[in-house]
Amino acid sequence: SLYASTQVKEGTIVAVDFLPLDDTKISLNLPNFNFIQGDFTESETKQLIVDALVQERANLVMSDMAQNFLGDSQTDALRTLNLCEQALVFSAGGSCFDSSYSPKSDEGMLAPGGSFLCKFFSCGKENEEDLMQAAK
C-alpha cells in the first residue's frame, strides 16, 4: 500500500492490516494515505474503511490478505480464498454471488467501472470457480 501511495497522484488510499505500520515508513508527502490497523473481517474495521473514503467509492480495491497458515496447503489456500470472497463482496456487493451466499448489502464500495485485484493460492479449479465467476 505504501508503494501504491507513491504512484497514485489523486484520490484516497486506505490500507488495512492486522499488524501496525512502521510510522517511519509513512512519508509526510502522502496526505491521502489512511492506515487502519484491524481485522478486515470485523464490521468495525469495514466501517472505518467506509469512513476513511468520506462517502466516496473506490476505483480500485487491492487485497493481499492471507490467513495465518496452519501448515496444510489446501486448508491454507481455502481460508485465503474465503478472504478474497469477503473482500469481493465488500467491494462489489452481495449480488456478485448467488443469493444463497449474498450478505445483507447489495451495493459495494467499488465505483462503477472500478477494478478488483486479489491474491489467492491455488486450491483447485472447483474451489476457485465461484470467485472467478463473481469477479467478472
Catalytic residue among 46, 119, 125, 136: 119
Q: Hey, what amino acid is at 28?
A: L
Q: How far apart are CA 133 and CA 13, in angstroms?
A: 27
Unique residue bearing C-alpha cell 496444510: 72
Q: Is 125 a catalytic residue?
A: no
- pTM of the entire predicted model: 0.74
Q: How confident is the model at residue 119 (pLDDT cuts 50, 70, 90)?
A: confident
Q: How far apart are CA 106 and CA 67, in angstroms?
A: 26
Q: How far apart are CA 36 and CA 13, in angstroms?
A: 11
Segment 50-78 shows an average pLDDT of 82
Residue 135 has pLDDT above 60, yes or no: no
Segment 28-55 shows an average pLDDT of 83
- How much is the pLDDT for 62? 83
- How much is the pLDDT for 58? 84
pLDDT tens string 4-41:
777 777 778 888 888 887 766 655 566 678 888 999 99
* CB neighbourhood size of 51 (10 A): 12
- How much is the pLDDT for 106? 61
Q: How far apart are CA 123 and CA 127, in angstroms?
A: 6
